[in-house]
C-alpha cells in the first residue's frame, strides 16, 4: 500500500488519535501529502497557502532539496549515535557550538532535546538542580502565567494554563507551580488599573512574597505567548519582570519555542526584541524548520559552573538527545537562514504583514488584530465594545478557518482566534493573498451569521 492508492483519511480516522483530538469531532481528515515553500497539497489535489507555518515552525519553507540532501547524507553516514554520558557525534558537537554562538549573553551551554516540551521539561528539572548547586536548595517553586502553553509533557502541561487545555483526569502538578496573569493588552486582567506593566510587576512581587522568595526558583515566560492568543506584552514588561527575578535570585526561563529562529526577525527574541538576557532559553520548532524533531535548552555559563562544581550525575536526557540526523537538519536550516538573510526578510515582510492585517480590525466580528513581525492573530467577538464572545456553538475560529481553506488559505483556529506564523520566506504577493482572503471570508461569515439572525454589534 502506498499513500497514492489508499483512502488515507479513512485509515487515519480509524487508527490515529491526534494531539488535541475532539473525541466527537467530525470524521473529516485533511491529509496533506506534499509541501513546497508555503504551499501545501492534500490527497484530494487541493492546494493551500499555509499561513500557519506548519505549527509555528516551517521557517525556511517546505520542499528544500538541500535539506533532504543533508538529512539523507547524515542518515547514510551515521543514522544514530547516543549522546549519553561521554559519547557524542559530529552534528551534535557542531550544533551546540553554533547555538552558543547565536544565543545572547553568556548562554553558551546546551542540553539537546527531542522537541519543545522536552526542552521545557528539562528546564523545569534544571532549575531545581541549578538552584541547589548555587546553594539555594529550597528554591524549587516555579511561577508561570495564565494563557501560557509550554508543551505536553507532565511538567510542561502543569506549567501551562490555557483555557480548555486541562482534562480533569490528567492530574497536573500543582504543588510547586503557581500562575500569575498574562500581559494581555486587549483583555487586561480583572482589577488591573493604570500602567499594565506596573500592575503585573506588583502582582509578581506579591506572588513571590506569598510563596516566599527563598522558595521561588524560576519564572517561565514565552516572550510572546503564542498559542495562548499571540499576546504581545508591553515593550518594557519582560525586562522589568527580569529585574524582579534578579533581585530575588529567581531564574528567568524564556520559552522561545515559537519566538526564536526568525519568527520575530532575530535568532532569539529575548534580548534583541525585549532587551533582557534570560538564564535559560528553550527552543525547538524553527531550529530545524520542522524538517526533524529537535529542541534545545540553552543555559548560562553561570549555571553550568555551579552545576559543574557538583560531584554527582545530572540524570536527565533522552535516547534521541543530540540525534545526528536531527542535528544535521538544524545545522543546514541555520545555514540557509543565514545565507538567504531570512531574518532580514522576516523584519521587512513582518512590517508588510502587520500593515496588511491591521485593517481587518474594521470588519464586523473582529475585536482585535495583533501580532509582531511574522506572528499574527485575529480575535473574533460578538460585540466590539463589550468584547463579548460569540456563543461556543458558532465555533467562530473553525468557521473562519474552514471558509479560508475553501479559498486555498490555511489559518489556525484556536477557540475564537485565528493565528498565523508563515514561513520567513514569505513575499508581498503571498501576504496580499492572506489579507485579501481573510477579508472576503470574514465578510462572508459575518453575512451568514446575520442571515442566521445572529445579532452582531
Ligand atoms: C511556546 C511553546 N512551548 C513549548 C511547546 C511544545 O513544543 P513541542 O510541541 O515541540 O513539544 C510549544 C508548542 O507549540 C509552544 O508553542
Which structural domain range is residue 78 located in? Answer: 66-339
Task: Examine residue 409 and state whether it is found in any structural domain, yes or no.
Answer: yes
Q: Say if residue 97 is in the same domain as residue 112.
A: yes
37, part of any domain: yes
Q: What is the pLDDT along the chain (457 residues), one digit of tens a residue?
A: 455 567 999 999 999 999 998 888 777 889 999 999 999 999 999 999 999 999 999 999 999 999 999 999 999 999 999 999 999 999 999 999 999 999 999 999 999 999 999 999 999 999 999 999 999 999 999 999 999 999 999 999 999 999 889 998 998 998 999 999 999 999 999 999 999 999 999 999 999 999 999 999 999 999 999 999 999 999 999 999 999 999 999 999 999 999 999 999 999 999 999 999 999 999 999 999 999 999 999 999 999 999 999 999 999 999 999 999 999 999 999 999 999 999 999 999 999 999 999 999 999 999 999 999 999 999 999 999 999 999 999 999 999 999 999 999 999 999 999 999 999 999 999 999 999 999 999 999 999 999 886 666 6
The number of folded domains in the chain is 2
What was the pLDDT predicted at 97? 98
Residue to substitute in 113, 116, 286 for testing ligand 1 pocket (most ligand atoms within 8 angstroms of CB): 116
Co-location of 255 and 217 in the same domain: yes
In this structure, the residue with its CA closest to atom 14 of ligand 1 is 151
Provide the angle, in degrees to the nearest 10, between the axes of the packed helices 428-451 and 342-357: 30
For 318, other C-beta atoms within 10 Å of its C-beta total: 17
The answer for residues whose C-beta is within 8 angstroms of residue 167's C-beta and 6 or more apart is: none
Q: Looking at the domain assignment, is residue 124 inside a domain?
A: yes
**Are residues 377 and 365 in contact, defined by beta-carbon separation less than 8 angstroms?**
no
Residue 450 phi/psi, 5-degree rounding, is -65, -40
The pLDDT value given to residue 174: 87
Claim to verify: residue 307 and residue 391 sit in the same structural domain? no
Atom of ligand 1 nearest to the CA of 227: 16
Output the pLDDT for position 457: 62
The residue among 108, 184, 173, 96 whose CA lies nearest residue 146 is: 184
Indicate which residue's Cα is closest to atom 12 of ligand 1: 151
> Are 174 and 312 found together in one domain?
yes
pLDDT for residue 6? 77
Asked whether residue 281 falls in the same domain as residue 368, the answer is no
Q: Are residues 220 and 173 in the same domain?
A: yes
- Same domain for 108 and 16: no
Residues 321 and 366 in one domain: no
Q: Is residue 3 part of a domain?
A: no
Residue nearest to atom 3 of ligand 1 (CA): 150
Mutate which of 118, 150, 221, 253 for ligand 1? The one with the most ligand atoms within 8 Å of its CB, which is 150
Indicate if 283 and 398 belong to the same structural domain.
no
Is 410 inside a domain boundary?
Answer: yes
Name the burial class of residue 63, with classes exposed (0-12), middle (13-18) and buried (19+) by CB atoms within 10 angstroms of its CB. middle
Distance CA(360)–CA(372), nearest Å, equals 15
- pLDDT of 22 reads 86
Measure 109 CA to ligand 1 centroid, in angstroms.
21
**CATH number of 332's domain:** 3.40.640.10
Query: What does the block give as the cell for 246?
Result: 534578579
Q: Name every protein residue with a CB atom under 6 angstroms from any ligand 1 atom.
A: 115-117, 120, 149-151, 222, 226-227, 255, 257-258, 284
CA of 449 to the centre of ligand 1 (A): 34
The answer on 50 and 190 residing in a single domain is no
Stated pTM of the model: 0.97
Q: Residue 323: what pLDDT?
A: 98
Rounded CA gap, 180 and 208, in Å? 10
- Long-range CB contacts (within 8 A, 24+) of 65-68: 66/332, 66/336, 67/289, 67/291, 67/329, 67/332, 67/333, 67/336
DSSP symbol at 287? G
290, 57 Cβ separation under 8 angstroms: yes
Ligand 1 atom nearest to CA at 148? 1
Same domain, 376 and 239: no
Count Cβ atoms below 10 Å from residue 214 Cβ, excluding itself: 14
Nearest atom in ligand 1 to the alpha carbon of residue 284 is 10
Determine, yes or no, domain membership for 457. Answer: no
How far apart (Å, rounded) are the C-alpha atoms in residues 292 and 69? 13
Instruction: Using the structure block, give the residue that is written with the C-alpha cell 528546564.
Output: 123
Cα end-to-end distance, the chain, whole Å: 53
For residue 224, the CA-to-ligand 1 centroid distance in Å is 13
What is the CA(270)–ligand 1 centre distance, in A? 17
Within a domain: residue 1?
Answer: no
Q: In what order do the strands lie in the sheet with 280-283?
A: 109-113, 295-299, 280-283, 251-255, 216-221, 141-145, 177-180
- Say if 2 falls within a structural domain: no
CB atoms within 10 A of CB 366: 21
Domain limit, last residue, from 323, 339, 355: 339
Q: How far apart are CA 197 and CA 110, in angstroms?
A: 31
Last residue in a domain, options 298, 315, 339: 339
End residue of a domain, out of 308, 339, 370:
339
Q: What's the CATH number where 355 sits?
A: 3.90.1150.10
Residues 92, 54 within the same domain: no
Amino acid at each position: 500500500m502506498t499513500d497514492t492508492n489508499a483512502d488515507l483519511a479513512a485509515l487515519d480516522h480509524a487508527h490515529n488519535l491526534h494531539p488535541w483530538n475532539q473525541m466527537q469531532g467530525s470524521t473529516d481528515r485533511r491529509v496533506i501529502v506534499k509541501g513546497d515553500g508555503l504551499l501545501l497539497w492534500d490527497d484530494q489535489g487541493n492546494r493551500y497557502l499555509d499561513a500557519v507555518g506548519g505549527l509555528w515552525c516551517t521557517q525556511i519553507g517546505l520542499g528544500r532539496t538541500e535539506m533532504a540532501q543533508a538529512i539523507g547524507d547524515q542518515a547514510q553516514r551515521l543514522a544514530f549515535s547516543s549522546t549519553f554520558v561521554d559519547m557524542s557525534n559530529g552534528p551534535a558537537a557542531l550544533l551546540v557550538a553554533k547555538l552558543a554562538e547565536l544565543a545572547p549573553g553568556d548562554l553558551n551551554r546546551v542540553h539537546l532535546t527531542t522537541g519543545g516540551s522536552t526542552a521545557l521539561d528539562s528546564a523545569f528539572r534544571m532549575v531545581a538542580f541549578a538552584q541547589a548547586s548555587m546553594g539555594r536548595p529550597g528554591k524549587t517553586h516555579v511561577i508561570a502565567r495564565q494563557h501560557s502553553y509550554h508543551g505536553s509533557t507532565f511538567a510542561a502541561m502543569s506549567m501551562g494554563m490555557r483555557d480548555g487545555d486541562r482534562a480533569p483526569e490528567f492530574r497536573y502538578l500543582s504543588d510547586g507551580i503557581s500562575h500569575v496573569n498574562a500581559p494581555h493588552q486587549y483583555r487586561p486582567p480583572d482589577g488591573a488599573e493604570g500602567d499594565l506593566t506596573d500592575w503585573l510587576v506588583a502582582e509578581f512581587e506579591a506572588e513571590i512574597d506569598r510563596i516566599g522568595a527563598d522558595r521561588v526558583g524560576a519564572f517561565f515566560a514565552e516572550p510572546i505567548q503564542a498559542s495562548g492568543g499571540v499576546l504581545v506584552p508591553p515593550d518594557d514588561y519582560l525586562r522589568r519582570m527580569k529585574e524582579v527575578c534578579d533581585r530575588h535570585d529567581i531564574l528567568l526561563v524564556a520559552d522561545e519555542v515559537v519566538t526564536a529562529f526568525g519568527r520575530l526577525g532575530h535568532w532569539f527574541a529575548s534580548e534583541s526584541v525585549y532587551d533582557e538576557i534570560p538564564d535559560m532559553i528553550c527552543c525547538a520548532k524553527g531550529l530545524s524548520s520542522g524538517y526533524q524533531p529537535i529542541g534545545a535548552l540553552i543555559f548560562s555559563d553561570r549555571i553550568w559552573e555551579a552545576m559543574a562544581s557538583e560531584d554527582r550525575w545530572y540524570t536527565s536526557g533522552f535516547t534521541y538527545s543530540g540525534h545526528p540526523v536531527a542535528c544535521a537538519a538544524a545545522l543546514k536550516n541555520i545555514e540557509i537562514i543565514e545565507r538567504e538573510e531570512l531574518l532580514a526578510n522576516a523584519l521587512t515582510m513582518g512590517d508588510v504583514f502587520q500593515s496588511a492585517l491591521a485593517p481587518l480590525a474594521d470588519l464586523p466580528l473582529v475585536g482585535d488584530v495583533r501580532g509582531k513581525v511574522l506572528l499574527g492573530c485575529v480575535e473574533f467577538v460578538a460585540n466590539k465594545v463589550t468584547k463579548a464572545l460569540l456563543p461556543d456553538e458558532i465555533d467562530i475560529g473553525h468557521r473562519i478557518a474552514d471558509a479560508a481553506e475553501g479559498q486555498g488559505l490555511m489559518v489556525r483556529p484556536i477557540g475564537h482566534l485565528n493565528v498565523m506564523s508563515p514561513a520567513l520566506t514569505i513575499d508581498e504577493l503571498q501576504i496580499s493573498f492572506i489579507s485579501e482572503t481573510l477579508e472576503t471570508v470574514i465578510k462572508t461569515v459575518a453575512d451568514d451569521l446575520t442571515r442566521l439572525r445572529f445579532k452582531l454589534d
